[in-house]
Structure 1
Amino acid sequence: MENQSFRSNMLLLEGLKVSPASSVPAFVLLLLIYVFIMVSNVGLVLLISTERSLHQPMYLLFCNMSINDAFGATIIIPHVLRDIFISNSERYIRYVDCVVQAFCVHLYGSTSHTVLMIMAFDRYVAICNPLRYAAIMTNKMVVKLSVAAWGTALVLVAILLGLTVRLTRCRRVISNLFCDNASLFKLSCDSVFINQVYGLGYTVALLGSSICSVTLTYLKIAAVCVRSKNKVLNSKALQTCTSHLTVYVLLLLSAFIIVILHRFPRLSDHRKVAAIVGEVALPALNAVIYGLQMKEVRQRVTNVFHCKQTHSLSNHKHEQRLH
């Protein structure tokens, strides 16, 4: 009886189909990517927080993205790394842990969109209303926008998972690398009509609002650039907006691919690959794209490495003199 009760709270994850020969290379590759994600994103947050010249709304808002990317990678990658060396029949996870992981996964995905929306607003004010930028984008406004981005995502995801937790379960196999809302409510034999309606509304509201706001923002920015015919302004707008738009398009493609593949159970293996690529590639690329595009950040990173090289060289010369 105890064993039955224990098993009823345990779910089985399908995971990736990795051959024994490919397990070690896959583990090493994922581990290196995870280390890069953490070092690059945490490093950027520390750099922006310690450099007073980078205490500007654009960079402070970007910290939200770096923190969210580090959070998203930590939810998924260590879990996948652990499961690579575990056989398919032993990849168990407790139901409570699965719900927590699903909540964090959706919070990461939702916050990615809301953060990019507030960053688009910042670029709109900076380019379309530069004279009032300092008055509008105060530290108080940055805090409000950041709280709104995280708070909105938190409420939407809490309702999403709350509707799923109420369902009774008659299955225990999660056909995914990690837990998410769709995989959880598929475990139930109850009617999931409310879940599907809210899930669809949640997806449409989140993607629709982000697409509309970003599209309108960039249309207005483009109109300002065309009317101004100012090469300096256009160059600055292109430099600051290219990185934001690139990250947004990649996020949007990843979201659409995963949502579409969830509708085709036969393509579950393709969905797993798309999911892990999205969860791994985006956090790694975001830091690179922004780090390379933002001139001030690039200069600070270069200065840090230059100072370290100069310091090590001076120490080496000092040691040679002593000898």
Structure 2
Amino acid sequence: MVMNNKSGEIYTFNSFTLQLESLNVSEESRYAVFLFIILSYLFIIVANVGVAVLVFVDRSLHQPMYLLFCNLSANDVLGNSVVLPRLLLDILRPPSERLIGYYECVLQAFIIHMFNTTSHTVLMIMAFDRYVAIGNPLRYSAIMSNKMLLKLTAGAWGAAFVLVGILLGLTVRLSRCRTFMQSLYCNNAALFLLSCENIFVNNVYGLTFTVVLFTASIGSMVVTYTKITVVCLTSKNKTLNSKALKTCSTHLLVYLIMFFSGIIIIILHRYPQYSEEKKIAAVLYHIIPGALNPIIYGMQSKEIRKYFSRMFYSNKVLMSS
């Protein structure tokens, strides 16, 4: 059903076809942007899947730290696979053909918000793992048992599923009077802004959701690393301190990359005049953490470096013989 309001704006009620915004790139730079995104996507898939497979294949890597990292790899693959392939197609299409079905859009938004939320919850339980390993090394194996690992993993994904389910559930209940989404890809805010109904509840829950997630995330990092610092300062074990510095710096770097990538988008969202910069930041939010995580965790791990060294040496021997 289509009708005009007093100002002449056309309203299309409950349309099942939505139009996405596009990157404002010139004809000359379109293929360069396309090449950058597709190469980034391929690297993210190969690097994250490669490290995850390596962890499961090599028994020496069957440790909580690496198994928890596999959750991060799976999340990066899932989040980027929902966003980047679709974005690649839309770059090559004219604006009028950048269309998406409503239910497909809701599903994409659900997975994207799951990706965002799980990035925080997984890194929170990884921080707990590092604290137990450094603060209570003698009881580490007993505390971080397979059962505990399963509970923490289920908690990280389960909490994200429930919180995001409520977030999108509040949006799906709204009727729609618009079809143009002010976003490169589907997300909750862009979806509920399609409605002409009162969206006060959506705004309140969305803001509360964001504040609670960031507060819990930042709070857990501050508390965990404060306790780790106290342990290191009171301990005269140089080996322990060296191990703590290495593993914690890796985890903290991954967290800070994810955190500041998200904060930049939130800040730009408050300034409509920087709409193009916000689009670029939204794309890089998926690319940068997804590409850097396996490099940081994989290449700074002694066990993984040893595995690649053995593999390289074996191939060298085979080629020489």
What's the TM-score, normalizing by structure 1? 0.93
Aligned residues: 313
Structure 2 gaps of 5+ residues are 3-10
Residue 5 of structure 2 is matched in structure 1 by none
Aligned match for 1:280, one of 275, 284, 287? 287
In the alignment, structure 1 residue 143 sits paired with structure 2 residue 150: yes
**Matched letter for residue 53 of structure 1:** S
Residue 28 of structure 2 corresponds to which residue in structure 1? 21
Cα distance in 1 for residues equivalent to 2:26 and 2:160: 37
Conservation of the 8 A alpha-carbon contact between 1:239 and 1:294 = no
Amino acid at match of 1:139: N
Q: Deviations over 1:161-181 (max 9, x none)?
A: 000111111111111110111
Give the match for residue 221 of structure 2.
214
Residue in structure 2 matched with residue 177 of structure 1 by the alignment = 184
| 1:301 CA displacement | 2.3
Q: CA deviation at 1:280?
A: 0.8
Match of 1:299 in 2: 306
AA paired with 2:119? Answer: S
Kindly provide the CA deviation profile for residues 39-85 of structure 1, in whole angstroms up to 9, marking residues without a partner as x. Answer: 11001111000101111111111110111111111011101111111
CA distance in 1, matches of 2:18, 2:319: 52
| 2:71 aligned with 1:67 | no
Secondary structure class of the residue paired with 1:154: helix
In 2, the alpha carbon distance for the partners of 1:6 and 1:208 equals 38
Pairing 1:256–2:276 present: no
Of 26-35 and 193-202, more deviation after overlay is shown by: 26-35
Report the Cα distance in structure 2 between the residues aligned to 1:33 and 1:306, rounded to whole angstroms: 28
Per-residue Cα deviation, 1:126-183 (whole angstroms, up to 9, x for no partner): 0001111011001111111100000000000000000011111111111111011111
1:256 Cα offset (Å): 1.4
Give the Å deviation of 1:260. 2.4
Identical positions, percent: 54
User: Within 2, Cα distance between the matches of 1:224 and 1:78?
Assistant: 46
State whether structure 2 residue 225 is matched by structure 1 residue 192: no
1:199 to 1:227, Cα distance in 2 relative to 1, 3 A: same
Q: Root-mean-square deviation (CA), in Å?
A: 1.7
SS across alignment from 2:197:
coil
Give the match for residue 7 of structure 2: none
Structure-2 separation of matches of 1:305 and 1:7: 58
Secondary structure at 1:187 match in 2: coil
In structure 2, distance between residues paired with 1:137 and 1:27 = 43
Letter in 2 for 1:147: A
Give the counterpart of 1:56 among 40, 48, 63: 63
Query: 2:254, 2:84 → 1: CA distance?
Result: 20
Shift of 1:303: 2.2
Give CA-to-partner distance per residue, 1:249-308, whole Å, 9 cap, x none: 111111212122223333221111101011111100001111122111122123223323
TM-score using structure 2 length? 0.94
Q: In structure 1, what residue type is equivalent to 2:131?
A: Y
Residue 6 of structure 1, CA deviation: 11
Tell me the distance in 1 between the aligned counterparts of 2:312 and 2:163. Answer: 42
Give the secondary structure class of the aligned counterpart of 1:16: coil
- The 1:62/1:7 distance shift into structure 2, 3 A limit, reads same
Q: Does 2:235 correspond to 1:235?
A: no
2:46 to 25, 39, 51: 39
Greater shift after overlay, 251-260 or 152-161? 251-260
Alpha-carbon distance, 1:25 to partner: 1.5
The Cα of 1:195 is off from its aligned counterpart by 0.4
Structure 1 spans left out of the alignment, 5+ residues: 315-323
2:112 to 95, 105, 115: 105
Task: Select the residue among 202, 209, 232 that pairs with 1:225.
Answer: 232
Indicate the residue corresponding to 2:19 in structure 1.
12
1:321 alignment partner in structure 2: none
Whole-angstrom distance in 2 between the partners of 1:176 and 1:5: 19
Instruction: Give, in angstroms, the shift of residue 23 of structure 1.
Output: 1.6
